[in-house]
Structure 1
């Protein structure tokens, strides 16, 4: 019998089909060890694992891909690895996070993904370009006289979410509540049951969706919920799901990415000074940062014979954690900011970071405009 059982310590017993030498002690929600940053911690995990695919008993028990080629196979093979479960533990977080388009498999995924792309590409965000730069400058002016700042609290947690709230035309006063709910998916503290998190989002969005269907505005929510999928309007349930996904992505992803990028810049003095001296390097630097710091972990549920069997397990993958060093087709360590036409970002790595990863509302196109303004102001 292969059915695994939960131990008294809350960890899953090793199923019979999992070899003993493929088991390791890994918890994706653990704190980063003291003295390490997030990516160093992942690299150490990868370096110490005897195989590129390992199984952990934590969070309901799941497989973990530890090399880029393994991750690429899983992320691109939707017939064997379903998008149905995108978070672990599968029975709690995975069941609660059935949002659109992340939890959909092809061909259903593509029309919803296109709807997001159409409403968060460079064109719809172009009118906000000066707003982005002005906000970045204003935030920096607020602490530059001190000669130092807590970058996370004074900039990263302020800049992207304020821009995002303008994009979706929601009151800034609602930010604390929405951010707290979004965080329960990605870093749950146990204060709100996960099924209640989703319901609170629905309760918040339902009257907003009804109002903007009756009287659409120019905001992203209005454009999305009044769009069409395959020639038909979105159902109320679909509209709620895609809006929750937009809120979670917009209030979480960019905050984390900013922290990673500026931590890197703070330690690489030559690169920081080179970008400040030649702003034409910004675009290449951003593309490389998106590749290196995609801020994504994703899960896939194993499909057997077209169904989700009892023995199916979710797998977790940390994208960009190794800085692209383990991909079989490119082993170069590329430096952000290299000018175009010389040694620009490896296309394979770039697309691994931007297209293979199922980004939500804060996708690469939207982030690039916001981060470009921020880097210009910072430089």
Structure 2
């Protein structure tokens, strides 16, 4: 039997600290719900259903878009808005760039930049951890892969955040045009003079026996601008906020730093920075006894799935050594985030260095920190105070 929840808005719920009060009731009473918001859509809330639908590219298509509401792009973003077999052709190109072994080689460079950023504000005894540390780091790291020069990193950081937070359609179009023009120039330069970056790699590659085009290269760059750095930043800002709100967790990580990798997985589950994606049904489907017609928008709530008590006992607790931890923070199946190894590395290095350099930091005003409506659960400002540490000699 269909149970309608006409007022449900996934974007609003994602801004709430107590979001699972809503999702818990939905999972129990209407695990497949319908809303009239954003032109009408269905929501899957249980881990089992969301996981299966995320992996089912035959019945749940990523076309025409994975965003809800649509961000207004003139064409689908590749490879995230592609279905197999086209998806795998582009994904293979990205996998070569973001393969785990290559990512590991960046740890020293990332740590050096983390230390540099902390040194720029450590003596002040206060900082905005989001604006002075997390956003600059994640923007800088992804620009290494994209081949963006130092002088344009600040501009890239503004673009990355703007793509997921801008609300005005005219401003969004202006922003996309500005980014597109910049990348067209960068790609043209790489065509003439290749370098060790993604554009050069793509332009030297082939799909179905033909060269990758400049337009395809541009599309991939546009995808990574919105998804490459800001999603990791969203997690990082939540991470440091949670370690202030849960001092016992911070003390445990200080005492047992070997728990940091599993703690990061647990915080990814708890936060779920990318709180879901849209799919469109290619045929009539039945989920949990509810029939969804063909051509319907379906929101796969990774945020709800990651708090499903049937999969995660005590989902409202942050358990740093939780095992197993089949979270969906990076998606699942063929669309699983290719940048996951890079995100994990950045989060681990950030956490290790902050716990070492600023172990007593605290939020300057916890009540002033909020999650803004966006494609991700982003926190844009995180003012902290701390005891100024000695300057690093690394």
Same fold (TM over 0.5): yes
1:95, 1:129 → 2: CA distance?
Answer: 34
The question of whether the paired residues in 1 share the 8 Å contact of 2:4 and 2:34 is answered with yes
Tell me what 1:303 maps to: 282
> Where does 1:50-89 land on structure 2 (aligned, <5 Å)?
50-84=29-63, 85-89=65-69
Shift of 1:133: 1.1
* CA gap 1:312/1:95 in 2 versus in 1, 3 angstroms: farther
Larger RCO: 1 or 2 (CA < 8 Å, sep 6+): 2
Pick aligned residue for 2:181 from 192, 200, 203: 203
1:360, 1:239 → 2: CA distance?
Answer: 18
Shift of 1:312: 2.1
1:324, 1:301 → 2: CA distance?
Answer: 21
Tell me what 2:300 maps to: 317
Tell me what 2:24 maps to: 47
> Where does 1:187-202 land on structure 2 (aligned, <5 Å)?
187-190=165-168, 192=170, 194=172, 197-202=175-180
Tell me what 1:281 maps to: 259
Shift of 1:323: 7.3
- What 5-or-longer segments of structure 1 have no aligned partner? 1-17, 339-343
Tell me what 1:14 maps to: none
Tell me what 2:246 maps to: 268
* CA gap 1:264/1:274 in 2 versus in 1, 3 angstroms: same
Tell me what 2:89 maps to: 111
TM-score when normalising by structure 2: 0.76
SS of the residue 2:9 aligns to: coil
The question of whether the paired residues in 1 share the 8 Å contact of 2:272 and 2:306 is answered with no
Aligned residue pairs, count = 343
1:273, 1:284 → 2: CA distance?
Answer: 15
Pick aligned residue for 2:197 from 212, 219, 226: 219
Shift of 1:240: 1.2
Tell me what 1:365 maps to: 341
The question of whether the paired residues in 2 share the 8 Å contact of 1:87 and 1:298 is answered with yes
SS of the residue 1:353 aligns to: coil
- What 5-or-longer segments of structure 2 have no aligned partner? 286-292, 356-394
Tell me what 1:165 maps to: 143
Could you give the per-residue CA deviations for residues 60-90 of structure 1, whole angstroms, max 9, x where no partner exists? Answer: 2211222222212321222221101211224
* CA gap 1:146/1:201 in 2 versus in 1, 3 angstroms: closer
Tell me what 1:142 maps to: 120
2:75, 2:247 → 1: CA distance?
Answer: 40
